[in-house]
Amino acid sequence: MKSGTILIPLVLIAMIWQSSALADTVILKNGQELDGTVIAAEEEAIILDTAGGPLRIRKEQILQVFVGDEYRNASPERQRQMVEAEEEKQTQSPDPEQDRTEDAEATENQSQDLPGNLAQLNNDRIVIWAGAGPAYGRVESQQLLDEFRTRQLLPSSFLLPRYAKRPAGIETTAGFQAPLLFNFRFGARVSVEGLSANRELVERGRDLVNPTAAQEKSGVGLEELYQNERKYASAHIEYPFSGSLLNGAFQFAPLLGYAGQRQDSRTQTLFTGILLPFGRYTALEQMQMDSVDEGPLAGLRLTYFRGPIEISSLIYVFHREGFFRLTSTRLASGGNAGLAFQEARMEHIREGVYGDLSATYWIGQIGLFLTLAHQRSNMTDYNGNFYSSGTNNTGTSATTEFQTFLFSSLAAMDSGDTRASSESLQFGVRFAF
């Protein structure tokens, strides 16, 4: 879809929201009239969302606040009478302290019905947050391991997952957002995800430790993905557009940013089986994958405020480039006793989409939130090279120096593409100041 097709309706929606947002009128003591929507009330000031952006007005400057279209739709004579009535009320007040108290109570009572009075006020401040919760995923490392096993030393060796437990674990996140000049906002986020899982594999094909042997082998392996740690960090700048919606306040904010990710995976597999005609064999295989990538992201944040409740959704697409290194060590005993080591190094491009839905309940400056997040990505590998060495039970050694190669459409991958996804449920706390 062309970007112009998206931008035109967004601009029109922004214009409609902005025009519908100017529902209240604030009369200052110097006679100036300000149109907008009162979105928050502080102890010494109110926040008026005007066509030019949020405006903070001290209460000592305010003569009267007219909520709704009553003042704006009145005739000039009626408007003058309404203002004079308020001036007379303030002049006849016998106790200035009591008058200030009554005005404060009236403003506070009005603020209880104002759209987004607390949630949006906290959103426009510096906010820090942290959360944690369960995470589930489909990780690239398992798919890459399956593909890598089929490519070791080139002889055929097919590994078929027979039973797979979905990787699960814990994800922790933290971040902050802060207002910038000209109504821009800056945000940053870091997260650490750790997953683990078990799989049962069926091994078929020629022996990998002793590739000179033409005999076939058949075995079963129990694989343990005991570490899959993903560390992620991002920073972005966004510009919010505000309006009124369903007795609340609404914002949509286009954003641009940059992100980086590092992923470390470790697996251990114990194989047992039969190698014809030598008999039974046992093999312990340990594999490790490390990947790093970084790149830009672009998206949109949608937020709805009403009273102490804030509901937001963040959606963005990303494009990151990097590299990964995958190593395998296999120690076998029995019919195919020996030791083999392989290593692959490849560059990759990771593209995908991230989305979340979050609900926050504010109690003063403290917010309790719940976030449901989903991410889906595709990793394309290219510019690969491969190294292998091994010693078999007859004392024969073989070494293959680094050579250029590409993953094919074998095992779990399609033309060098590896797909991954993850879901997480976060519980946490926000603090605004």
Domain ranges (residues) in the chain:
3-111, 119-432
Average pLDDT over residues 205-225: 66
pLDDT at res. 78 = 79
pLDDT at res. 148 = 63
CB atoms within 10 A of CB 399: 10
Q: Which of 145-149, 321-325, 327-331 has the highest mean pLDDT?
A: 321-325
Question: Taking 80 as the threshold, does the pLDDT of residue 428 lie above it?
Answer: yes
pLDDT at res. 111 = 41
Reading the block at residue 199, the tokens are 């799989």
Residues with Cβ within 8 Å of 321's Cβ and at least 6 positions away in sequence, in order, are: 293, 294, 295, 347, 348, 349, 350
pLDDT at res. 314 = 96
Per CATH, which fold does 119-432 belong to?
Lipocalin (2.40.128)
Question: Taking 50 as the threshold, does the pLDDT of residue 369 lie above it?
Answer: yes
Per the model's pLDDT, the better-predicted residue between 3 and 83 turns out to be 83
Question: Taking 90 as the threshold, does the pLDDT of residue 232 lie above it?
Answer: yes
Per CATH, which fold does 3-111 belong to?
SH3 type barrels. (2.30.30)
Best CA proximity match to 140, nearest among 22, 293, 284: 293
d(CA 14, CA 18) in angstroms, rounded, equals 6
Average pLDDT over residues 296-312: 92
At 74, the amino acid letter reads A
At 43, the amino acid letter reads E
To the nearest whole percent, how much of the chain has pLDDT over 90?
Answer: 27
Residues with Cβ within 8 Å of 192's Cβ and at least 6 positions away in sequence, in order, are: 171, 172, 229, 230, 231, 232
pLDDT digits (tens, 9 = 90+) for 103-153: 544 444 444 444 455 777 667 789 999 999 999 887 777 777 766 665 544
Reading the block at residue 258, the tokens are 């940059």
To the nearest whole percent, how much of the chain has pLDDT over 70?
Answer: 71
Average pLDDT over residues 318-337: 85
Cis bond leading into 240, ω under 30°? no
Whether 119-432 and 3-111 are alike in CATH topology: the answer is no
d(CA 363, CA 157) in angstroms, rounded, equals 60
Average pLDDT over residues 229-254: 89
Residue 431 — very low, low, confident or very high, per pLDDT cuts 50/70/90? Answer: very high
Best CA proximity match to 422, nearest among 359, 360, 355: 355
d(CA 309, CA 295) in angstroms, rounded, equals 34
Q: How many residues does the chain have?
A: 433
Q: Which of 70-74, 75-79, 128-132, 160-164 has the lowest mean pLDDT?
A: 160-164
Question: Taking 70 as the threshold, does the pLDDT of residue 361 lie above it?
Answer: yes
Residue 81 — very low, low, confident or very high, per pLDDT cuts 50/70/90? Answer: confident
- Give the residues across from 91 on adjacent strands: none
d(CA 310, CA 432) in angstroms, rounded, equals 13
pLDDT at res. 200 = 82
pLDDT at res. 75 = 79
pLDDT at res. 235 = 97
Per the model's pLDDT, the better-predicted residue between 233 and 183 turns out to be 233
Residue 295 — very low, low, confident or very high, per pLDDT cuts 50/70/90? Answer: very high
Question: Taking 70 as the threshold, does the pLDDT of residue 35 lie above it?
Answer: yes
Best CA proximity match to 27, nearest among 61, 77, 68, 76: 61
Residue 276 — very low, low, confident or very high, per pLDDT cuts 50/70/90? Answer: confident
CB atoms within 10 A of CB 135: 22
- Is 167 in contact with 228 (CB distance < 8 Å)? yes
pLDDT at res. 192 = 95
Tokens 């490519």 map to which residue? 151
Q: Which of 21-25, 164-168, 326-330, 383-387 has the lowest mean pLDDT?
A: 21-25
Reading the block at residue 371, the tokens are 């976030």
pLDDT at res. 326 = 83
Residues with Cβ within 8 Å of 148's Cβ and at least 6 positions away in sequence, in order, are: 287, 326, 328, 342, 344
Residue 360 — very low, low, confident or very high, per pLDDT cuts 50/70/90? Answer: very high
pLDDT digits (tens, 9 = 90+) for 152-204: 443 445 566 666 677 889 999 999 999 998 889 999 999 999 988 888 877 77
